[in-house]
Amino acid sequence: MNLRSGSVTSLFVFLVAFLSPNAFAATCESLASLSLEHTTITLATPVAAGEFTLPGAQQQNAAFKQLPAFCRVAATLKPSSDSDIKIEVWIPAAGWNGKFMAVGNGGFSGAVNYGQMARVLSLGYATASTDTGHQSGGADAQWAMGHPEKQIDFGYRAVHEMTIRAKAIITAFSAAPRYSYWNGCSSGGKQGLKEAQRFPEDYDGIIAGAPANNWVNLVTEFMWVANAVRKNPESQIPQDKYGAIHDAVLGQCDALDGVKDGLLEDPRQCKFDPAVLQCKAGDGASCLTASQVTSLKQVYGPSRNPRTGKEIYPGLPIGSELGWGVLPQPFAIGETHYKYVVFNDPNWDFRTMDFDRDVAKADAIDKAVGQFTAMDPDLTAFKKRGGKLLQYHGWNDQQIAAENSINYYQSVVERFGGSTREVEEFYRLFMVPGMMHCQGGAGATDQFDTISAIEQWVERGIAPDRILGSHLTNGVADRTRPLCPYPQVARWKKSGSTDDATNFECVQGKR
């Protein structure tokens, strides 16, 4: 435009175009021709409000009918000769908040997480997800056998590559995101920690729930529990006895935190001895046989190397009994990891597990090939670039022991010279009483807003000193409770309703 020969109107049009980030944005369909490294865009299409349908034979969800209009982009990434990473990127057609939030996976992560993408898109974010380089059920690792590059994709490469490509696609369609966030639980929590450790520039804020970051030791713990309760039929604890165990735990420990409410604020303070449930004679519905008492102690206790006595992984927390399902839970992830990643043998039998030799083999493979584990405590680069990490974990997690999160947090504190104050500047851990794996739990306050908390921290510098947790019955909150940054715990002020968060304060917990 020649401004010297134009009118006032022409000048106005030029300024609007210059100042508007969407002025020269691409159409959704034109993104099909976008050229990105190692990337083939397979779909670029606008989706009208309420018109999204899950691909294939997946069960449709009414929530998808509430989605606003968006640009849907699908792509395949091939950073190695054996890579086949599928990603999707969704960008609001209107009302974009200028931010990007990628979502994580669960288990072995063999599918794009459409459900979480829909939730994030509805909040105004551009979003992305990946199948991490393979298509499978969450407990199936057959894809890994003989495919070290795919193991690397699952371990860290797929998420990083997706992040880079998603940002490029969003920028081409509209503008570069002002802030980038990660949000995931379980494997998604592990993915978030891996990003902070290995690719600190990818995200400004990371929400990491119940992370499976100590991966090799976690799948080993599954095998430990399996051997404790399934190797010998006499050691198996029938599912209909879990209620009696849970009631005994609450009967002894519920009031330790000052409130009798069916929740243990910190289960580590409960010194429950399963022997109190041993049957006086024979067997019974509300008692345990001697063999069952022994196996229950192993479930609660940490797995250990039988030669050195070194702890491998924390045991399932006292109070988590109602979520166990059929012990061990989830057994399949541990078994399939050892079958297809460690031994390359579909016929491997968990009863042959050697918790010294076999664990060492699994560790060596992880370090050399898969790098599934995300335990590096050095978050210096993430802190230096201003990143914020918000981690949460349910105390009643029946799959990933809650103490795993505490152990990782403590390792970071130690890496920073033992200074909790310095770590709290960029990393806070919230333990959630009563919550099971990622959500749920009888009486738990498992509804809480981590997204607003991480936004306030990243964008306004307001660190979360507490997060409001709610318990819902028929969609209505009937209990609220503050979630406190570890090592603090919520303590009742001795007055007012114990179902009202305003009657609690965050105080230093016992170690």
pLDDT digits (tens, 9 = 90+) for 87-121: 999 999 999 999 999 999 999 989 999 999 999 99
Phi first, then psi, for residue 488 (nearest 5°) are -75, 155
Catalytic residue, candidates 366, 437, 446, 471: 437
User: What pTM, to 2 d.p., does this model score?
Assistant: 0.93
Please identify which of the residues 83, 109, 129, 186 carries the catalytic annotation: 186
405 is catalytic: no
Taking each helix axis as running N to C, give the angle between helix 215-229 and helix 357-365, from 0 to 180 degrees, rounded to the nearest 10: 150
Identify the band that residue 226 occupies on the pLDDT scale cut at 50, 70 and 90.
confident
Query: What is the mean pLDDT of the segment spanning 384-401?
Result: 96
Ranges assigned E (strand) in 234-351: 303-304, 311-313
Query: Is the peptide bond between 487 and the residue preceding it cis, with omega within 30 degrees of 0?
Result: yes
Q: What integer pLDDT is reported at residue 283 of this predicted model?
A: 92
Q: Looking up tokens 């969407």, which residue turns up?
A: 22
Task: Tell me: pLDDT of 329 over 80.
Answer: no
Q: Is 397 a catalytic residue?
A: yes
Selected catalytic residue, list 202, 397, 405, 446: 397
pLDDT at 327 over 80: no
Summarize the confidence of residues 296-316 as an average pLDDT: 95
pLDDT for 420-433, tens place per residue? 999 999 999 999 99
CATH dotted code for 29-215+374-508: 3.40.50.1820
φ/ψ of 332, rounded to 5, equals: -60, -35
142: DSSP letter: G
What residue ranges do the domains of the chain occupy? 29-215+374-508, 217-370
- Helices 215-229 & 290-300 angle (0-180, nearest 10): 170
Tokens of 164: 């880079």
| pLDDT tens per residue across span 347-388 | 999 989 999 999 999 999 999 887 899 999 999 999 999 999
Average pLDDT, the chain: 91
Considering the chain, what percentage of its residues have pLDDT values greater than 90? 83
Q: Verify whether residue 202 is a known catalytic residue.
A: no
Q: Is 198 a residue whose pLDDT tops 70?
A: yes
The rounded distance, in Å, linking the Cα atoms of 328 and 32 is 46
